[in-house]
């Protein structure tokens, strides 16, 4: 029995495809044929025919920045519940950050994730730690990570503060073509901070996090990259690749923008909450726990800088930084709240509502940022709509209007500031690993 998606709006920027058409998939999950045009695809009596009636069929979305908490904090999220949340949000693959308990700083942790995720509905890529226990002191075994198929490393949650260790990380990672993903934060400036340092933090009496803390680390790292490249202190054919996680300030964006013009292999991502909310939203919120995150929600000016950088192409990808926490870790005074929010199930709706519907970017650009570019940055194979390829697709209804509710969420945690928010556009299903999962 084959599955046929017909009368779909096929949109795949990886192959410059934007047309009405149909796709036939065999019983093993491989694409049998693709036809363009509005005519129905011929089918047999036992075929499953799904009329998408103009809904988008796009390459499966990929989130390159997630926390599923397993091993060690399964009360917040597990590989299974995180995968359910990802599928509900339209994601067929995610990359997991290594700051679990224990930290994934060796191939043993990679093997654990791979073993326990084999039968889950989405692909789980593992990002290895940059340093042992993410302490910033001793480099993790990059070569062994690479032999286990790891393509990126990060001490997410903290930046390497020691510049010599960071230099060694650049040199070591370039030998194995590993992407360095940096959480850019000068911790000497942010210690004890709760929210963006501004008049809002002063009024609330909360210790502020100065936004310059992000740009300082970005600047240091980019200067290291320039030094290593100019002085050819490593193989010139293996240049370091550097990715700024959840970028949040105009100053950091200016540095990345210039680095790209200078030819450095630099990319960056933005989260939906940073281009949707500002520190004023935290100030006005009655319950503030779900507005506490790192980097913190910034000023209105920084939020606009992010939107401008999405529009001009400086920002490469949209990532959720899905960070589930139990209710008691958020339903508390803001200076005691855990940092981070969930994001997998709201990302598509926020992107289409705040960016596409407001003509900041096109739908094609949105799919590039949600699917094509994250895979490219992570050195993962692109998704094609071609005969013989394994079907990996997300179905999006760009017109449906819906309200975010706790009851509909698949994540084990519901720590999001978007409960009650009305959105336009939603992922309504995925087809991956030979199975169709619909989001009703």
116 annotated as a binding-site residue: no
Residue 322 structural domain: 59-377
Together in a domain, 129 and 24: no
Domain contains 196 = yes
Domain contains 187 = yes
Together in a domain, 312 and 430: no
65 annotated as a binding-site residue: yes
Q: How many domains does the chain have?
A: 2
C-alpha–C-alpha distance, residues 149 and 143, integer Å: 10
Together in a domain, 27 and 119: no
Together in a domain, 27 and 86: no
Together in a domain, 288 and 364: yes
C-alpha–C-alpha distance, residues 433 and 423, integer Å: 29
Minimal CA–CA distance to 53: which of 84, 29, 22?
A: 22
Together in a domain, 47 and 184: no
Together in a domain, 50 and 71: no
Domain contains 110 = yes
Q: What is the CATH number of the domain that holds 91?
A: 3.20.20.140
Together in a domain, 132 and 167: yes
Together in a domain, 123 and 237: yes
60, 92 Cβ separation under 8 angstroms: yes
Dihedral in degrees, nearest 10, Cα atoms 257, 180, 364, 400: -120
What are 386's strand-pairing partners? none
Catalytic residue among 105, 321, 407, 408: 321
211 annotated as a binding-site residue: no
Domain contains 363 = yes
pLDDT tens per residue, the chain (440 residues)?
A: 899 999 999 999 999 999 999 999 999 999 999 999 988 888 888 899 999 999 999 999 999 999 999 999 999 999 999 999 999 999 999 999 999 999 999 999 999 999 999 999 999 999 999 999 999 999 999 999 999 999 999 999 999 999 999 999 999 999 999 999 999 999 999 999 999 999 999 999 999 999 999 999 999 999 999 999 887 665 666 788 999 999 999 999 999 999 999 999 999 999 999 999 999 999 999 999 999 999 999 999 999 999 999 999 999 999 999 999 999 999 999 999 999 999 999 999 999 999 999 999 999 999 999 999 999 999 999 999 999 999 999 999 999 999 999 999 999 999 999 999 999 999 999 999 999 999 87
69 annotated as a binding-site residue: yes
Domain contains 416 = no
373 annotated as a binding-site residue: no
Q: What is the CATH number of the domain that holds 29?
A: 2.30.40.10
Domain contains 410 = no
328 annotated as a binding-site residue: no
State the burial class of residue 212 (Cβ atoms within 10 Å of its Cβ: 0-12, 13-18, 19+). Answer: middle
Together in a domain, 106 and 179: yes
Domain contains 224 = yes
DSSP letters for 134-182? G-SSSB--HHHHHHTT--EEE-TTS----HHHHHHHHHHHHHTTPEEEE
Domain contains 281 = yes
Active site residue 105: no
340 annotated as a binding-site residue: yes
Burial call 429-439: b when 16+ CB within 10 Å, e when fewer: bbbbbeebbeb
In degrees, to the nearest 5, what angle opens at C-alpha 435 toward C-alphas 432 and 440?
Answer: 95
Together in a domain, 78 and 27: no
Minimal CA–CA distance to 287: which of 415, 201, 412, 193?
A: 415
Minimal CA–CA distance to 295: which of 365, 216, 221?
A: 216
Together in a domain, 26 and 145: no
């Amino acid at each position: 029995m084959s599955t046929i998606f017909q009368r779909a709006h096929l949109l795949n920027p990886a192959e410059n495809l934007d047309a009405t058409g149909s796709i036939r998939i065999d019983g093993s999950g491989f694409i049998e044929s693709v036809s363009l045009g509005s005519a129905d695809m011929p089918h047999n009596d036992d075929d499953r025919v799904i009329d998408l009636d103009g809904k988008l069929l796009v390459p499966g979305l990929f989130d390159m920045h997630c926390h599923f908490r397993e091993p060690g904090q399964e009360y917040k999220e597990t590989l299974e519940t995180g995968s359910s949340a990802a599928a509900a949000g339209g994601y067929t693959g995610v990359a997991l950050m290594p700051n679990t308990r224990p930290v994934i700083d060796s191939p043993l942790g990679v093997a654990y994730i791979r073993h326990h995720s084999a039968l889950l509905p989405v692909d789980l890529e593992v990002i290895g730690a940059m340093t042992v226990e993410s302490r910033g002191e001793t480099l993790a075994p990059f070569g062994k990570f690479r032999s286990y198929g790891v393509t990126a490393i990060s001490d997410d949650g903290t930046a390497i503060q020691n510049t010599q260790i960071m230099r060694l990380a650049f040199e070591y990672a370039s030998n194995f073509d590993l992407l360095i993903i940096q959480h850019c934060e000068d911790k000497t400036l942010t210690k004890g901070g709760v929210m963006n340092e501004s008049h809002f933090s002063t009024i609330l009496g909360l210790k502020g996090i100065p936004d310059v803390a992000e740009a300082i680390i970005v600047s240091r790292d980019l200067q290291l990259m320039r030094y290593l490249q100019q002085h050819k202190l490593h193989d010139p054919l293996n240049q370091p690749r550097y990715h700024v996680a959840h970028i949040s300030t105009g100053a950091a964006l200016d540095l990345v923008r210039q680095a790209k013009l200078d030819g450095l292999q630099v990319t960056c991502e933005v989260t939906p909450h940073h281009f949707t909310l500002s520190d004023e939203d935290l100030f006005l919120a009655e319950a503030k726990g779900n507005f506490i995150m790192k980097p913190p929600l910034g000023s209105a000016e920084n939020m606009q800088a992010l939107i401008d950088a999405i529009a001009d192409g400086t920002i490469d990808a949209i990532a959720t930084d899905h960070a589930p926490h139990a209710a008691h870790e958020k339903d508390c005074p803001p200076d005691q709240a855990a940092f981070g929010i969930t994001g997998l199930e709201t990302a598509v709706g926020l992107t289409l509502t705040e960016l596409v519907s407001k003509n900041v970017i096109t739908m094609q650009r949105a799919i590039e940022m949600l699917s094509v570019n994250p895979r490219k940055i992570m050195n993962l194979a692109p998704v094609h709509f071609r005969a013989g390829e394994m079907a990996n697709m997300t179905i999006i209804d760009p017109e449906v209007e819906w309200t975010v509710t706790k009851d509909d969420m698949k994540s084990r945690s519901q720590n999001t500031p978007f409960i009650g928010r009305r959105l336009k556009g939603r992922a309504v299903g995925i087809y991956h690993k030979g199975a169709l999962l619909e989001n009703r």
